[in-house]
Structure 1
Amino acid sequence: MSVARLPIEDINQNSKRAKTDILPVLGFSDEDKIRTIQPHDDALVIILRIGGYDVKRVMVDQGSGAKIMYSDLYKGLNLKPKDLTPYNSPLVSFEGRVVIPKGQIRLPVQTGPEVVEVDFIVIDTYSPYTAIVARPWLHTLEAISSTLHQKVKYPSEGQVKEILGDQSMARQCLVAIIQHKPEVESSAHARRDL
């Protein structure tokens, strides 16, 4: 039986390649809850760099596929209607109303060194959030999120990186939703709908 011997430098290069191909294991433990207020049922609200700006009050919604940008953020980023592409599918707002989107826009979302292009659906309706990122963003980033642990974890350069949630901001957003009074329809408009 003959055995081929690899030069030492080939063995070292192969082991270096193997180390870089191994992705870190993503998971949560009780240690991840240390800086959180427990027990809670807060939404996961984070800060993300969107279109080159640090944007507060971004909700991570792992139960949705829609990536939403609200008009306040759209205007705050100095975007114009000409920047939008058509998006013709209606959505339902937090208030339960059907909302017709203004359009869609693709913007870079940066987390550490990672940049993911996200197609945001722009809507003009009330929300205490500036934007919502959803499963497609998490999947592209190969991230996992936990509302319980108030974190998003993702692999980057062979390490596990974290984005921390802001429970205080999540609670302020919840209070804002509860206190928000939807626009009252005029009685003439309401009668027409009957």
Structure 2
Amino acid sequence: MVLATNQISFTDEELPPEGRGHTLPMHIIVRCKDMIISKVLIDNGSTLNVCLISTIEQLNMDTSLIRPYTMIIRAFDGTLLEVQGEIELTIGVNPRFFVVIFQVIKVDSLYNMLLGRPWLHSAGAVASTLHRRLKYPFEDQMITVMAEKP
């Protein structure tokens, strides 16, 4: 017999009004440097956490904080992009704060940041794009973060 505690699960009652047929992206809102950042894409298919250079500029951060980091990545459309560097940022995904290493890229995008598997795994978070929810354990509670409304 196997007993599970602190398990993360999703139920049909948590499905969004659009039901199972939606293909909406999973965007959440985070806090960084006392600013709200919307359109943070949750992507469990990504091996990187990504922050756009334009987002860093909107945060009025000193770009000298971007450490050199050489890497070529393949974007969603198949094009190759050079990573501008990496930066460590503290982000709040209520109620918890996380220190995240982001690869910085310069590209036009529909999102401001991307949280991929590195963040999901370190946070112990599980995302359900079907349910448009993210769940992670924190202080003996299960935190549920809802996706932004489309």
Give TM-score scaled by structure 2 length: 0.89
Pairing partner for 1:37 from 7, 15, 18: 18
CA root-mean-square deviation: 1.7
In structure 2, distance between residues paired with 1:92 and 1:105: 19
**Retained in 1: the 8 A contact 2:30–2:94?**
no
- Number of the residue aligned with 1:159: 141
Give TM-score scaled by structure 1 length: 0.70
Q: Which runs of 5+ in 2 are unaligned?
A: none
In structure 1, distance between residues paired with 2:17 and 2:6: 24
Structure 2 residue 86 is matched with structure 1 residue 75? no
Pairing partner for 1:49 from 31, 46, 49: 31
Paired positions, count: 146
Higher Rg of the two aligned structures:
1
Q: Which runs of 4+ in 1 moved over 4 A?
A: none
Q: Secondary structure at the match of 2:110?
A: coil
> Percent identity between the aligned chains?
29
**Retained in 2: the 8 A contact 1:93–1:125?**
no
Letter in 1 for 2:79: R
- Number of the residue aligned with 1:119: 101
Letter in 2 for 1:60: I
Deviation for aligned residue 1:167: 4.4
**Retained in 1: the 8 A contact 2:49–2:113?**
yes
Cα deviation 1:66-123 (Å, max 9, x = unaligned): 1111122111011233111011011122332211122110001222232211111111
Higher relative contact order (CA 8 A, sep 6+): 2
- Number of the residue aligned with 2:75: 93
